[in-house]
Amino acid sequence: MSKYIFNLPDIGEGIAEAEIVKWHIKIGDVVAEDDQIADVMTDKATVEMEAPVSGKIIGLAGEEGDIIAIGSMLVEIEVEGDVDADKLEDLEASSAVPDEAAQADIDVVPSEQVIDKKGSISDIPTSPVVQKESEESSAAPTRLDAMPARNEQPKSLATPAVRKRAADLGVDLSEVKAQGEHIRHSDLDAYLNYGAGQGYRPSGAVQKRDDETIKVIGMRRKIAQNMADSKRNIPHFSYVDEIDMTEIEDMRGDLNANRGERAKLTILPLMIAAICKALRDFPMLNATYDDEAGFVTRHGAVHLGMATQTNQGLMVPVLRNAQDMNVWQLASEIARLASAARDGTATAKELTGSTLTLTSLGPLGGIATTPVINRPEVAIIGPNKIVERPMIIDGEIHARKLMNLSISCDHRVVDGYDAASYVQALKHLLETPVLLFAD
């Protein structure tokens, strides 16, 4: 027998540490070579770690959520015979595999049960002591007269009206104390007033849930850190204006009616086209701010981050060079990136490098939002729900499709006047959508 210490390998350029997101093994488990043993997460990706040798797990680096340094021990494995050092160097170098797919749900089988291949529960071998007691019990004759009499509760006496009321309230009359021979409405009232402390709960009441403590690790920890850093370091201000979306919604209907084999357009591609077109005159919004170095970089290309809700939490895939795409190309790329983010196949490049972010809750969008800036960007745009409401035009009331548009900006480098002027330019394009297709 010999021991092999598997150190966390170098899993990316410039990576100094990684977080243990999930253990797939525990101390005492026997693993085969190439078995998955853990998932670790860096700033750029989640990586699957595989066992470099076969053996028994005798040591772990820590618990899920712990952060360990590159080159430090990940697991300790007890192996048969001597370890071939040259072979292990090759295996260790190839043991980090990028996690390109979302993790599937795992069904846990209770340790007290053994399930065979047919899905039935097998008998669990009993200890000699238990088996002996069982045999003695089965050998002893059973006598009915030796068994204790069953404890039967006496039937509560109450009128039909009281019984019906108790049933409607979900009250067991055997728990209600009567002041006389029969349970009366007054007795039931007294129980309702004072019996709650003894566990009474009316029929249909919401049951209390037990407290649950959840460790914040992995993607949720990254989100927490990024949001806290943004709010702590950036003096946010938000601006909201109402936009009449009736004309652009009518245009979208016409485009979809003549789309041919292309995918159906949502409002987002048209809105992104307007965002990019309006940015030409407002470069201070398509920018990133390095507050430590004291430099603002105004980007020529629009790499638009799209806040996307996934099972792992909020992710921001990046729509690169959005300014060069038409609405159909935008629709296709939006669908591809959103799908990659949700199924876990988005690459590190697809999740970094945004210069401006768009966040939308779609049909769930409320009246207004005050979105949090995706640092080091200096602005984030949040369209809200489109709602048909009455609007006065030339003294007459018309039904129009109206939407509130929110923008949050970093007040250190963006003035309120610039943010408001940009939203007005964006509003003009959305309310006069033919301008989107004009040079």
Residues annotated as part of the active site = 411, 415
How crowded is residue 267: how many other Cβ atoms within 10 Å of its Cβ? 17
Under 8 Å between Cβ of 74 and 8: yes
Q: How far apart are CA 109 and CA 121, in angstroms?
A: 11
In the three-class reduction of DSSP (H, G, I as helix; E, B as strand; rest coil), residue 251 is classed as: helix
Beta strands in 112-262, from DSSP E residues, in sequence order = 114-115, 121-122, 236-244
Torsions phi, psi of 426, nearest 5?
A: -65, -40
Under 8 Å between Cβ of 339 and 395: no
Q: How far apart are CA 288 and CA 302, in angstroms?
A: 12
Q: If we measure between CA atoms, which residue out of 56, 43, 34, 36 comes closest to residue 13?
A: 43
For the record, the structure tokens of 201 come out as 């709960």
Tell me the longest C-alpha to C-alpha distance in the chain. 100
Under 8 Å between Cβ of 239 and 407: yes
Q: How far apart are CA 234 and CA 107, in angstroms?
A: 43
How crowded is residue 407: how many other Cβ atoms within 10 Å of its Cβ? 24
